[in-house]
Amino acid sequence: MKTTANSVWLVLFLALVALIPAQAKDEVHLTYPSKVEGSKGKEREKLFTPWMSRDALAAHTEDMQKKGGQIIYFEYDSSNAQWRAIYTSKLKLKGPYSRWAYTDEKVMDEALNRESKLGLQPAFVVHSASGSFTLLMVSPDDLVAVRAELKALGVGEPKLRK
């Protein structure tokens, strides 16, 4: 009886240990950030807002949404904590979205995983010259339309690995 009980506990323990690596495999990590085409840089530059603080960008985004504009691309300059963005009136996101900026790749990966677990997918992840990472996460229902807009701006999709 004691041997059978020990065997059951051993089997349960091994089953739990076997599950732990499976959970780690579900995490995603950035392999390659989105490619931002230099050839479309002049076109993008004309569409950007001026550089502004985070709070000013949030207020501007709210104003743009009231006018039918949707934030589609943004940059963060970590050297002076300033943001700028591009908006489009060609689409309106149906689902939730989030936008982030980080200066640490590990923290950015953590955000990618946290947002992915909430069901969002990365529309773009850009590693800027200032060293920051910016990412836009959108619902799967909006992903195709957002990536089409980004492609027109010369912003490719990121490559992730699990």
β-strand partners of 94: none
Q: Note whether residue 53 is domain-resident.
A: yes
> Mind listing the pLDDT tens digit for each residue in 126-160?
998 888 999 999 999 999 999 999 999 999 999 98
Q: Note whether residue 47 is domain-resident.
A: yes
**Considering Cα of 32, then 137, then 70, then 49, what sign does the dihedral take?**
negative
Q: Note whether residue 148 is domain-resident.
A: yes
For residue 139, give its domain range. 28-161
Q: Note whether residue 11 is domain-resident.
A: no
Structure tokens, 40: 């479309």
Tens place of pLDDT for every residue, the chain, 162 residues? 555 544 444 444 444 434 444 344 578 788 899 999 999 999 999 999 999 999 999 999 999 999 999 999 999 998 999 999 999 999 999 999 999 999 998 999 999 999 999 999 999 999 988 889 999 999 999 999 999 999 999 999 999 887
pTM above 0.85? no
User: How many domains is the chain built from?
Assistant: 1
Q: Note whether residue 17 is domain-resident.
A: no
Q: Note whether residue 9 is domain-resident.
A: no
